[in-house]
């Protein structure tokens, strides 16, 4: 049974993020890594192109991002919809949640691109904007291969202006990042396999590209909405337009 660490909610509300070292460890982590490899080998070839992103579509080794893993595999559906990740989301959002998306992220060595500074809430289009995103490291992550960087306290300052980017999987980025506050409050988070980062939907975050020529940067993402919020109907229309645009440009 998951038990929220003491003072976790207080720190999360103050900073807009939290780190839980060793959230997944031992045999549980080993089983997870085996199932990630199984998913990539067996399930990815059956998925629609709009759910599978590559840095280079002609190179299967450049797999960058997977969407809605829980919808394509019962093992990941159970992991996402029940158990410790959902219970943590309920503790941080103080109430029932809706499991929304489970993702795989990678920055392949030498070609993994930067993640533009953004706020997840801009993509989510929620009222009220009450959601959390979790990021679980699957291998060692540091500044060389693109660790996550948060802006402490940015979740309390409202939505920044975003505009379209050319980064596949991250279609919007903050226009004039960083301002003085963001520059002073950005914090890098190196991580080990099984360490979990979780952030508020309004927290500004980004990641550099992967400068390593030999190491990848694999992770899983979990998105949960509070049951209190409602999704703007324009969100689904935006997702459809984005998929059509990426298809027309040959990116998926």
| Residue 136 in this model has a pLDDT that exceeds 80 | yes
Which of residues 170 and 21 earns the better pLDDT score? 21
- pLDDT of 251 above 80: no
Q: Is the pLDDT of residue 128 over 70?
A: yes
Q: Please write down the long-range contacts of 23-31, taking CB distance under 8 Å and 24 or more positions apart.
A: 23/84, 23/136, 23/194, 23/195, 23/196, 24/136, 24/194, 24/196, 25/194, 29/193, 29/194
Say what the pLDDT of residue 90 is. Answer: 97
Distance between start and end Cα atoms, the chain = 40
Share of the chain above pLDDT 70, in %: 98
What mean pLDDT comes out for the span 179-208? 98
Contact in structure between 151 and 203 (CB atoms under 8 Å): yes
What is the reported pLDDT for 57? 85
Greatest pairwise CA separation for the chain in angstroms:
50
How far is residue 101's CA from residue 223's CA, in Å, rounded to a whole number? 5
Q: Which of 110-114, 117-121, 151-155 has the lowest mean pLDDT?
A: 110-114
Residue-wise DSSP of 107-139: --TTTPPPEEEE-HHHHH-EES--EEEEEEESS
Q: Where are the alpha helices (DSSP H) in 19-65?
A: 26-38
pLDDT of residue 235: 80
Q: Is 28's pLDDT higher than 90?
A: yes
Residues 47-53 have a mean pLDDT of 94
Q: Which residues of 164-197 are buried (b: 16+ CB within 10 A; e: fewer)?
A: ebeebbbbbbbeebeeeebeebbeebebebbbbb
DSSP codes joined into one string, 42-86: IIGGGS-GGGEEESSTT-GGGEEEE--GGGT-HHHHHHHHSSHHH
pLDDT of residue 236: 81
Pairing of β 230-231 and β 131-137: unpaired
The answer for residues whose C-beta is within 8 angstroms of residue 15's C-beta and 6 or more apart is 150, 152, 153
Measured in degrees and rounded to the nearest 5, phi and psi for residue 28 equal -65, -45
Confidence of residue 67 (pLDDT cuts 50, 70, 90): very high
Class of residue 128 by CB neighbours under 10 A (exposed 0-12, middle 13-18, buried 19+)? exposed
The token pair that represents 66 in the structure block: 């997977």
Across the range 126-142, mean pLDDT stands at 98
Q: What is the model's pLDDT at position 222? A: 98
User: What is the reported pLDDT for 249?
Assistant: 65
Residue 130 neighbours by CB distance under 10 Å: 22
**pLDDT range class, residue 58, cuts 50, 70, 90:** confident
**pLDDT at site 1:** 56
Question: What digits encode the pLDDT tens for the residues 89-106?
Answer: 999 999 999 999 999 999
Residue 240's pLDDT is 83
Compute the distance between CA of residue 236 and CA of residue 226 in angstroms, rounded to an integer: 18
> What is the predicted pLDDT for the residue at 93?
97
Catalogue all structural domains in the chain, each as residue range(s) with its CATH number: 8-247 (2.60.120.620)
In this prediction, residues 114-129 reach a mean pLDDT of: 96
Mean confidence (pLDDT) of the chain: 94
Q: What's the token pair of residue 144?
A: 């060389």
């Amino acid at each position: 049974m998951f038990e929220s660490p003491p003072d976790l909610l207080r720190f999360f509300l103050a900073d807009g993020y939290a780190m839980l070292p060793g959230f997944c460890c031992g045999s549980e982590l080993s089983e997870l890594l085996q199932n990630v490899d199984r998913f990539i080998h067996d399930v990815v070839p059956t998925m629609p192109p709009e759910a599978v992103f590559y840095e280079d579509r002609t190179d299967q080794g450049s797999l960058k991002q997977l969407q809605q893993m829980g919808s394509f595999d019962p093992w990941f559906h159970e992991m996402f919809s029940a158990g410790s990740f959902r219970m943590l989301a309920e503790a941080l959002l103080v109430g029932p949640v809706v499991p929304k998306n489970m993702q795989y992220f990678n920055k392949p060595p030498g070609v993994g691109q930067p993640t533009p500074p953004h706020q997840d809430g801009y993509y989510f289009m929620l009222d009220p904007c009450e959601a959390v995103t979790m990021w679980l490291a699957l291998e060692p992550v540091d500044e060389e291969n693109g660790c996550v960087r948060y802006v402490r306290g940015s979740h309390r300052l409202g939505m920044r202006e975003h505009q379209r980017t050319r980064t596949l999987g991250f279609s919007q980025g903050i226009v004039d990042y960083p301002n003085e506050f963001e520059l002073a409050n950005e914090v890098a988070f190196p991580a080990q396999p099984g360490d979990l980062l979780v952030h508020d939907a309004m927290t500004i975050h980004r990641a550099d590209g992967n400068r390593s020529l030999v190491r990848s940067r694999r992770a899983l993402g979990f998105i949960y909405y509070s049951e209190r919020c409602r999704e703007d109907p324009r969100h689904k229309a935006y997702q459809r337009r984005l998929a059509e645009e990426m298809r027309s440009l040959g990116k998926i």
